[in-house]
Structures are given as structure tokens and as C-alpha cells.
Amino acid sequence: MGKAGDTDEQMNKDGFRVHHLSEHDFNLDSISSNAIKVVRRLNSQGHQAYLVGGCVRDLLLDREPKDFDVATSALPEEVRQLFRNSNLIGRRFRLVHIRYGREIIEVATFRGSGDSNVQQKSSHQVHEDGRILRDNVYGSMNEDAIRRDFTINALYLDPEQETVLDRIGGMTDHDNRIIRLIGEPEERYREDPVRLLRAVRFSSKLDFEIEPATLQPIAFLGALLQSVPQARLYEEILKLFLSGHAQKTYAGLCRNDLLRHLFPQTDQLLNQAGNESLQQLIELALKSTDSRVRDNKPVTAYFLFAAFLWGSIEKTILDLAGSENEYLAIQNAMNEVLRLQAKAVSLPKRASIPMREVWTLQSRFRQRRGGKPHRLLEHPRFRAAYDFILLRAETGAIQPEIAEWWTRFQSVSAAQRRKMTQPSQRKPRRKKAVSDEQASVVSKPGDV
């Protein structure tokens, strides 16, 4: 890959450095033909249009981009009119989605800096903590580059000319594998605290280093994440953990003291001695999530969050232990843990409902006689709950024999299943059933 200073560079009239792709070990065939179509159509109407963001990064790293974003001088309404198959979306910043079957090309109009255009100033609001609330100011390509978060995200690829345009040294940082915020880091983090998470995410995903000035404020600005709207924060968390680099990203969050702003209870437990099995459970869940992404298998966030919060569930069950029966104990514990979790990041129902099921089902794996195991097998959440208990067994919190029994139970014939669940010969049926019921969901010293 070329370095800044190579002979292939020249400057265009706007002050962008022009890098010719022919000099850069670059596979143009990986660019979506639909994205090229969009750029061509916009160009043919006299608008500037480039591929930007993640797709350019991925292409430069010779990876398959997951989607293609386009930046253009055309206004959203103009883009909308040029493409029948398009929709205007977004409130914070208006975007156009152009749909080609299952592929969506996202087109954004160049964004301004917010203070260069007096007429449009009313649509750029800054909150007193420095956070940008609404940002609908359009601008030049130059302003657009400066408004972006990291230098490597401000590269503009022109598929027609086969060039990459760079205003702020993104190409050099890319070549040197560096994550660098554009502008004054603390100010940029305060403007949009999600950038704290993005810095860690890109560094983990791309295996790039966060340069010192960009890295240094992260740990002490973490509390700013509280001001991010919950839905946006949750979406960002999904990107952190479901993009195939969950293990490294999690380590990055811990290293930069950000975990406590996302999962405070988890962070607190992990900082206490004696919680090695929780640490191990989380590591195993992260690992299995990453390997599922690698194998193109579906992944769910709730499974991972169930692992993150399991230690707190076990602890709360013990803390609340009183005269309650086991069912009530776990219900109360789940309510309490999710209530505290919501103070940092509230998990939407689509995650919390299946998560509660996985937790609630854990105690039912101890019941291995009579009709109950057969009914558990039919439960819609059986598979996730079984996968979860396998991880728990791997940490040593559950007798391996229980997990093995369930693995065998699933693989054998119906007749063999009936045999496996027959009441024990030596003990009277009622007594055995009662002792199964009494088995607790939480790990006790005698369980191992």
C-alpha cells in the first residue's frame, strides 16, 4: 500500500490529496455495482458523489465491505427525485436510502460545520454540555470531511476516476493503522459521546492503534455516555458485540474503563475477587458469538447480555433470599438487575424478554425425571437456555454430568428419552421429584 509522500499523490483544487488506486493494491471489483450506479447518476446530474466511511476502509484493507455509503453535494430532496427506489429517512440528519433488492445504498448530503452558514444556523443546536442535538446543516465537501469522526473515516473514493481523496491525512493514518479523531479530541467526544465507543470498536475491529491524544480522554469521559439517547446507545452496543470482534472489543472497553458505563453491575462484580467464573462465562459467550459470526450463523445480543448479567442475577437471588420460593426469587432478582441495568443502558424488550426466559429456564435443567424434561425440550427458548447451561458447565459452575445428560437426551430416540426420564428405581418417585424441584438455580459450593 502507498504511503503519504509517494509519487502518486497530487492536490485537487479543494485541497484534497488525490491518491490513485492503481498504486494501491486495490480491488475495484469488490465495489457494489449499485453503489457505482448511484455515484454515476449523481455525477451525470452535475453533483459531486463519492463512496465514504466503512466501505472505503474495508476496500483499502482488501476486505469485503458490508455496505456502501455515498456522500454527495446533492440535497436529500434532489437525490430522492433522481431515484425512484429511494426513501428519505432520519431526523437527526436526513439521509436517502436507495434500495436495490436487499441492498441499500445510503446517501448523505455533505454536512457543514454548523457555524459557517448563518441562514441555516437555527438547525444546528448545541446542548450546554457540548453535545450536538440537531445537525441538519449542509456544507461543502471540505466541511464534510472535517465533520467526520476519525481521519480514516474521512476518505472519499471516486470509483469513476479510481482515486481516493483525502483532506486530513486519513490515508497516512490508514497506512500506519492509526485511529485519530479529527480536531480536538475532548471537544469531539463531548459533541457526540458515541465516538468514545466508536474509537474502541474500530480499533478492535481493524486492529488499529488509537493514537495517544485520541485515547487519553476516553477513560475519563465515559460518563458522557449517559446523555446519549437510549435507542442510539443500544444500537451502538449491538455493533460493538455482534460484528464478529466481540472478544477484542470487550477487552478494549474494559481497558478504557467504559464497561462500567454500559454494564455497571457486571463491571462491579468483575472488580471483586472470587468472580472468576463470571469472567470465564463472559469470555466464553463472547467467543461463541464471534465464532458464530465467522460461520455466518445468526447471533443474538440477548444471549451475550444474559451472560454479562448472570453473576448479578445469582448474587441478587442470594441477597434477596428469604422465605420466597425459587420462582419468585429469580423473578425478583431479574426485576432488580434489569432495573439497575436500565440506569446505564436500558435493554429493549426484544432482548430482555428472551433473556429472562434463558435465566428462568436454568433451574429446570436439574429436573431430569418424569414429564418435565420433555416439556422443557419443547420450550421455544430451550436451545438458547441449553447453550447457556453448556457455557456454565464449562466454567465449572454446573456439574458437567447435567450438561452431558441434556446433550444425550436431545440426540436419542423418543423411546430412549422416556427411559432416561423414568423415575429412579431405588428412590420413591415423589421424594425424587421433590428433591429435583428444590434444586436451586444458583451455583452452590456443592454443585461443582
* Catalytic (active-site) positions: 67, 69, 149
Task: Write down the least CB distance from residue 342 to ligand ATP, Å.
Answer: 24
Among 2, 54, 222, 354, which residue interacts with ligand ATP (rule: CB under 6 A)?
54
| Contacted entry of Mg ion, ligand ATP, none for residue 148, CB cut-off 5 to 8 Å set by kind | ligand ATP
Burial class (CB in 10 A: 0-12, 13-18, 19+), 372: middle
> Which residues make Cβ contacts (< 8 Å) with residue 302, sequence separation at least 6?
347, 350, 351, 352, 354, 355, 358, 384
- Cβ closest to ligand ATP, residue 80 vs residue 201: 201
Interface pattern 208-247 for ligand ATP (x via CB under 6 A): -------------------------------x--------
Closest approach, Cβ 5 to Mg ion, in A, equals: 29
When binding is defined by CB under 6 A, the residue of 21, 164, 179, 194 that contacts ligand ATP is 194
Binds ligand ATP by CB under 6 A, chosen from 109, 136, 151, 153: 153
- Beta carbons of 269 and 260 less than 8 angstroms apart: no
Could you tell me the three cell numbers for 166? 483525502
Pairing of strands 103-109, 68-72: parallel
Instruction: Decide which of ligand ATP, Mg ion, none touches 290; Cβ closer than 5 to 8 Å per partner kind.
Output: none
Q: How many angstroms separate the Cα of 444 from the Cα of each of 4, 180, 231, 315?
A: 60, 48, 37, 11
Count of residues of this chain found to bind ligand ATP when the rule CB under 6 A is applied: 12
Q: Mark the segment that binds ligand ATP (CB under 6 A) among 148-156, 258-266, 301-309, 332-340.
A: 148-156
The answer to the question of residue 149 lying near ligand ATP (CB under 6 A) is yes
- The span from the CA of 432 to the CA of 135, in Å, is 65
Query: How far apart are the C-alpha atoms of 115 and 112, rounded to whole Å?
Result: 8
Residues 56-85 that bind ligand ATP (CB under 6 A): 69
Q: For residue 164, what is the enclosing H or E element?
A: strand 163-166
Under rule CB under 5 A, residue 114 binds Mg ion: no
Of 17 and 148, CB closest to ligand ATP: 148
Window of 15-23, 46-54, 168-176, 417-425 that interacts with ligand ATP by CB under 6 A: 46-54
Residues 47-66 that bind Mg ion (CB under 5 A): 53-54
- Which grid coordinates are listed for 86? 429511494
- Residues 236-295 contacting ligand ATP, CB under 6 A: 239
How far, in Å, CA of 114 to CA of 348, rounded?
33
Q: Which one among 166, 173, 192, 314 touches ligand ATP, defined by CB under 6 A?
A: 192
Binder of residue 262, out of ligand ATP, Mg ion, none (CB less than 5 to 8 A by kind): none
Looking at the Cβ atoms of 35 and 330, the one nearer to Mg ion is: 35
> At a CB cut-off of 8 Å and minimum separation 6, what does 270 contact?
254, 259, 278, 279, 282, 311
Q: How far is the CB of 145 from ligand ATP (least distance, A)?
A: 9
List the one residue out of 384, 208, 214 whose CA is nearest residue 302.
384
Residue that the C-alpha cell 469522526 belongs to: 149
Residues in 6-25 that interact with ligand ATP by CB under 6 A: none
The residue from 80, 148, 190, 381 that contacts ligand ATP (CB under 6 A) is 148
Minimum distance of ligand ATP from residue 60's CB (angstroms)? 12
Phi, psi at 87, each rounded to 5°: -135, 145
Please tell me whether residue 103 adopts helix, strand or coil conformation.
strand
Is position 373 an interface residue for Mg ion (rule: CB under 5 A)? no
C-alpha 324/C-alpha 53 separation (Å) is 54
Which span (40-48, 147-155, 245-253, 364-372) binds ligand ATP, by CB under 6 A? 147-155
Tally the C-alpha atoms within 13 A of residue 31's C-alpha that lie toward its C-beta.
23
| Residue at shortest CB range from ligand ATP | 54
Minimum distance from residue 194 beta carbon to ligand ATP (Å): 5
Q: Which is nearer to ligand ATP, 61 or 251 (CB)?
A: 61
Query: How far apart, in whole angstroms, are the C-alpha atoms of residue 333 and residue 312?
Result: 8
3-state secondary structure 55-80: HHHHHHCCCCCCCEEEEECCCHHHHH
Q: Which residues bind Mg ion (CB under 5 A)?
A: 53-54
Q: Which residues bind ligand ATP (CB under 6 A)?
A: 52-54, 69, 148-149, 153-154, 192, 194-195, 239
